[in-house]
Amino acid sequence: MSRRARRAPTRTPIEQRIGELALSRVPFAVGATLVVLGTAALVCAMVPVGPTWLGQTGAVLIAGAFTAGLASRTGGRPVVFGLLALACGTGVVLSDSDLLLTGAAIGTSSIAAVLAVMLTVPAAGVPSAVREAVIAMAVAGVGALATIGFEPAINPSRFEFVGFVLAFLSGLVLVYRLGAGLHGLGRRGLIVVAIGGAVLAATLLYAELLRSYGSSGLVDELRSWVSWSRDTIGAFPRPISALLGVPALVYGCHMRARRRQGWWVCAFGIAATSPATTALANPAVSLLEAALSIGYSLLIGILIGWGLIRLDLALTGNRGRRSRVAEQAAAVRPEPPRFDPLL
């Protein structure tokens, strides 16, 4: 092997300019502008105010911006994937094909659900963990507007299931890298992930068995609870979000401030963000009811997440208020800022 130092490859002026642009805040400013314009267009389409094409235009803008944001956050090429998403979205809208529009809606909901989790940062205390859960659900809410902006022709239950599966599998692939693989779980992380997987499997299996084989009496009883909740408080919280998704976001962000395997817990936060991105897919559910359902799920999930954090600190930390304050001050595991690449 030659002892001479290898010369760095010469970069053309265009390549240098592209590299400088990628390191600047220009891509972030462009993406934020697209999100604001897209959200405004979608809101106008829902009112409705303005031309009829505002809804699909806003959906395309949000899809492009969220795709670029997810690529940037996960160490990809945001400009390339963002422009590709904009081009594909424009082609889908111009084609006016129900199949393509439905596929674009599912893809947008999945990207929004994963991005909502990826944008969270470690939280040393409970208030910070609650803030991260609220931010994630807000991002998912914008994704919900973009999802229905494509005006897909869907079966609501199938649409929600396919969107969740795509988002969850994509999230696991990313978390596998962020959480240092399966060997980085450790005993505590393995226990938490096993419990989360069991809750997720039980929830999905129970819902499917109830829909397919449940007795009419049991189904009628559950429907009466849902009807009572809708009539009394305006909506019924989503069980998978309230019992698994939001607690995973709160506890996972808390755990990430202390150890890397907290990313594996945050992966189950997609059980909250994915239902939120498809909350408006059912035409029988109004915008107000969907928003209330997400809000109730968030509130219940935050309470459960707070309980998990207190239980974790009680079992693994030192007792006493001073000890908890010292433990929180020492929880400074570094991660890149919210809008910087994680990888």
pLDDT at 209 over 70: no
Segment 87-108 mean pLDDT = 93
Segment 152-157 mean pLDDT = 82
pLDDT at 300 over 50: yes
d(CA 75, CA 69): 10
The pLDDT of residue 146 is 94
Torsion of CA 122, 343, 184, 276, to 10 degrees: 50
Q: Give the side-chain half-sphere CA count within 13 A for 300.
A: 17
Interacting residues of 231 by C-beta distance below 8 A, sequence separation 6+? none
- Is the pLDDT higher at 114 or at 190? 114
CB atoms within 10 A of CB 231: 8
Burial of 261-287, coded b for 16+ CB within 10 Å and e otherwise, reads bbbbbbbbbbbbbbbbbbbbbbeeeee
Q: With bands split at pLDDT 50, 70 and 90, how would you rate the model's confidence at 4?
A: very low
The pLDDT of residue 20 is 56
The pLDDT of residue 342 is 86
Q: What is the pTM of this model?
A: 0.86
> Do residues 130 and 263 lie in contact, with contact meaning Cβ atoms separated by under 8 Å?
no
Check residue 180 and give left, alpha or beta (phi > 0: left; psi -120 to 50: alpha).
left
d(CA 115, CA 149): 18
For the packed helices 98-118 and 54-73, what is the interaxial angle rounded to 10 degrees? 40
Three-state SS at 282: coil
